[in-house]
Structure 1
Amino acid sequence: MDVDEAQIDEGLYSRQLYLPYTEGFAAMKRMAVSNVLIVGVKGLGVEIAKNIVLAGVKSVTVYDPEPIKVQDLGTQFFLREEDIGRPRGEVAVRRLAELNAYVPVKNLPGQPGQEISVDLVKGFQVVVLTDVPLKKQLEINDWTHQNDVPFIAADTRGLFGSVFNDFGPKFTCVDSTGEQALSGMIVSVSEDEEGLVTCLDETRHGLENGDFVTFTEVKGMEALNGCEPRKVTVKGPYTFTIGSTIGLGQYASGGIFNQVKMPKVLSFKSLRESLKSPEFFISDFAKFDRPATLHVGFQALSAFQTKHGRLPAPRSTTDADEVLSFAKNLTSEELNEDVLKELAYQATGDLSPLNAVIGGFVAQEVLKACSAKFHPMVQYLYFDSLESLPTNLPSEEETAPVGSRYDGQIAVFGKSFQAKIANHRQFLVGAGAIGCEMLKNWSMMGLGTGPEGSIQVTDLDTIEKSNLNRQFLFRPKDLGRFKAETAAGAVAAMNPDLVGKITTRQEPVGPDTES
């Protein structure tokens, strides 16, 4: 069903209706007329789709006609062993649709090997590409950029992630911060070209350059009361200027400034242009130079894949050297060769926790595109978690695929690591939104699935309606049931290796329950 103003379910969306981020009903209404296309529903794509469906847009359509492989089961939590061989998109749609009855989830049909095309993306308000070759990304983005359709491309390769945003040459952001408008008392306004406003002693105004304000209750310079919003230039924590006040009279006393949220028009570069002159969103200032290296590295990976029809093999020095050669041909700048080789070594890696991080980030960007709320990321995000690697790196033999659901993880950490976490014993307190995500990730990783492994979960709460739009292991049929036992059953269905390995409790953690 379509979601219009009258149909917004306050019981389901209560936690996001009253957040400044969503601007309440106004943002929800903008989201409720947005049709989103997600291309590729492996581990990363399904994370993005899951988050968007839960948040509540008009519709989500997925495109992925490729047949399911056993390796997909290691990160795509809506696939089952009996689904192997069937089209990924067709299978994912049914389980995605269970997340939110108000959001239709559709499958865009296609044949195995059939890539997405411009004709197929027409009619959508946001287009998201995952695991799509760079050449095809450029083709699709050329059209979306010309037609002002927000476009996002994302990939994960082992412990590395990449996101690119292009919301078009003229994207209007109605509220770039999502915070409540500021206000404060003033004690003087100068009558001159600068128009210096001074606030009450020891009361910081909190404004930034480029903000806009208007005034009320000013005496002596009454022309400022209800004036058109004036642009602010910050001079100090207690002072700012608003432009010429000549001829407005002599300030006498009183007055309150009120910040006015003004729409901000953002101009994004196309993917083709951004490849040559990228703008990086820095997520870790300890790795300030890393994005430039990874920008070249992901292009080099794409060149390798185009040439060979595959990604570099895990820990293959021959393949890594070729990727490095491609990278050096792309730029004359100095590159971090160790990082580039690690990217090549991990290219076939597919990790559920990394997909959750990048998938959550991309889903937020989709909601920004739909709601025009909050400033979008500009324009490239490159992320890595190389700190997660062990001191002694695995060998090529140790990371070779074995034909199991865990091959994507083995490609990064090796078979010994997989055996170690399988026999790990884990205790989780709380099966709410974060608890559900943790259990899902552990399930995909195979944590606690070995002969000596186990997972224990405790949570006193039962499931209520407002939980359903962010605690994704629960369904309407579960209302009133205990969270711990319901979540445990859901993740055991995702990975049958966990059957009999999860113990649930409804007890608090404290001195009274120590044993």
Structure 2
Amino acid sequence: MAAQARMRNAKVLLIHLGALGAEITKNLVLSGVGSLSLIDDSDVSSQDLDSQFFLGKAEVGTKRLVAAAPRIQDMNSRVELTIDTEHFGSKPDAYYQQFDLVIGTDLTSAEIIKINAITRRFNLPLFVAGLNGLSGYIFVDLIEFDATDEKLKSSVPTALGSVSQNRRITEVVEHYNEEQKKTFETIVTRNTYTPFEKVLREGTFKGKLTRRQLKRLTNAVPLTLALFEYPDGVGEVTPATLKEKALAKFVQLGLPTDQLQQIYVDQFAEQAGLEFAPVAAVIGGAVAQDVINILGKKQSPLNNFVVLDGITLDMHIFEL
């Protein structure tokens, strides 16, 4: 009940209602978030009709949010829905202070860096997600977040201290359940986060993964990071330039450069920024679920970078 109350009181901002934004919107509205504000200055295009479900042929050329808003509201009339058809970049920094959480979709790396600087200044949780055809990513910056989990006590009690680079158990409380006749542990884990710009420039797996884990790491991770090296978007991506940027990311991450596969380079160069509805459903579902978890202050959140590999269908979570 407490988690539901926090959800009903939450004010969330979502930037862009593309295929990914539509999936996140659907899931948040159906979950009962209290207030959802959408900002997007785009018009409905024919490509939108192939990748999302809030828009129809008759609305091509009209404002995307104006066309979609009635259908979004119909899913849950209790959600306070606000739309803004201005470009989010035209808003002053103070605009973001009214929200409890910000979600950005379909952003360039320069835009992510700018938004992340604002959310950190105002101590706001940030989720950023994007699609690259058969692959997609999620970046999370909650700055610092204490998550509470409960589990059955095992023969080895949970110990205080570091769990990983960005996660530390700060409190463990035992309690006995009379009905089940079992002892449980309530565990508080403090998650700290790295800002996007630092992840992009300094993120590495050196000293974090075993040699076997490094060899099994999907090419989708360094290639996703390499696409962020096009600061104004992915309109000029070619296999040759992408390969060069990917090899630099292999070095930064501490990965053997001979593991770069041309099939991945070609796929990412061809599909950079493309929206596929099934991939949007997977990435959008993961974002929305984590947003619901942190608004309810239940379960440990994602920390801090997620990549979906559309070739192997693996979805990896990394601390960078």
Q: TM-score, normalised by structure 1?
A: 0.51
Q: Of residues 159, 170, 178 in structure 2, which corresponds to 1:209?
A: 159
Q: Are 1:345 and 2:247 counterparts?
A: no
| Structure 1 residues 299 and 120, CA gap change in structure 2 (3 angstroms) | farther
Give the total of aligned pairs: 288
CA distance in 1 between partners of 2:214 and 2:285 (Å) = 22
| Structure 1 residues 288 and 164, CA gap change in structure 2 (3 angstroms) | farther
Give a deviation string over 1:338-366, Cα, whole Å, max 9, x none.
Answer: 22332112225321111100000000111
| Structure 1 residues 108 and 215, CA gap change in structure 2 (3 angstroms) | closer
SS at match of 2:289: helix
CA distance in 2 between partners of 1:379 and 1:162 (Å) = 11
Q: Of residues 43, 48, 54 in structure 2, which corresponds to 1:78?
A: 54
The residue number in structure 2 matching 1:320 is 239
CA distance in 1 between partners of 2:240 and 2:286 (Å) = 31
Q: Of residues 251, 258, 264 in structure 1, which corresponds to 2:189?
A: 264
CA distance in 2 between partners of 1:261 and 1:295 (Å) = 34
Equivalent pair of 2:220/2:309 in contact (CA under 8 Å): no
The residue number in structure 1 matching 2:117 is 142
CA distance in 2 between partners of 1:71 and 1:295 (Å) = 27
Q: How does 1:305-454 map to 2 (within 5 A)?
A: 306=232, 310=235, 312=237, 319-330=238-249, 332=251, 333=255, 334=257, 336-338=260-262, 339-387=264-312
One-letter amino acid of the counterpart of residue 48, structure 2: D
- Bigger proportion of residues as strand: 2
Larger radius of gyration: 1
Q: Are 1:300 and 2:275 counterparts?
A: no
Give a deviation string over 1:60-114, Cα, whole Å, max 9, x none.
Answer: 1111111111011111210111111112222222211111111111102305x95
Q: Are 1:49 and 2:9 counterparts?
A: no
Equivalent pair of 1:214/1:260 in contact (CA under 8 Å): yes
One-letter amino acid of the counterpart of residue 182, structure 1: L
| Structure 1 residues 73 and 144, CA gap change in structure 2 (3 angstroms) | same
Q: Are 1:123 and 2:98 counterparts?
A: yes
Equivalent pair of 1:32/1:56 in contact (CA under 8 Å): yes
CA distance in 2 between partners of 1:311 and 1:66 (Å) = 21
Q: TM-score, normalised by structure 2?
A: 0.80
Unaligned runs of 5+ in 2: 161-170, 314-320
The residue number in structure 1 matching 2:134 is 159
> Which structure's relative contact order is higher, taking Cα pairs within 8 Å and 6+ residues apart?
2
| Structure 1 residues 311 and 71, CA gap change in structure 2 (3 angstroms) | farther
| Root mean square deviation, CA, Å | 3.0
CA distance in 2 between partners of 1:381 and 1:215 (Å) = 34
Deviation of 1:139 after TM superposition, in Å, equals 0.8
Deviation of 1:262 after TM superposition, in Å, equals 4.3
Percent identical residues: 25
The residue number in structure 2 matching 1:29 is 5
Deviation of 1:52 after TM superposition, in Å, equals 0.5
Q: Which runs of 4+ in 1 moved over 6 A?
A: 279-282
Unaligned runs of 5+ in 1: 1-24, 184-203, 217-255, 313-318, 389-515
CA distance in 1 between partners of 2:94 and 2:137 (Å) = 26
| Structure 1 residues 311 and 160, CA gap change in structure 2 (3 angstroms) | farther
The residue number in structure 2 matching 1:412 is none
The residue number in structure 2 matching 1:62 is 38
The residue number in structure 1 matching 2:316 is none
CA distance in 1 between partners of 2:116 and 2:76 (Å) = 30
Equivalent pair of 1:40/1:62 in contact (CA under 8 Å): yes
CA distance in 2 between partners of 1:69 and 1:272 (Å) = 32
Deviation of 1:205 after TM superposition, in Å, equals 4.0
Q: Are 1:88 and 2:64 counterparts?
A: yes
The residue number in structure 2 matching 1:182 is 152
One-letter amino acid of the counterpart of residue 77, structure 1: F
Q: How does 1:451-470 map to 2 (within 5 A)?
A: none
CA distance in 1 between partners of 2:47 and 2:175 (Å) = 61
Give a deviation string over 1:369-392, Cα, whole Å, max 9, x none.
Answer: 21111100111001112158xxxx
SS at match of 1:297: helix
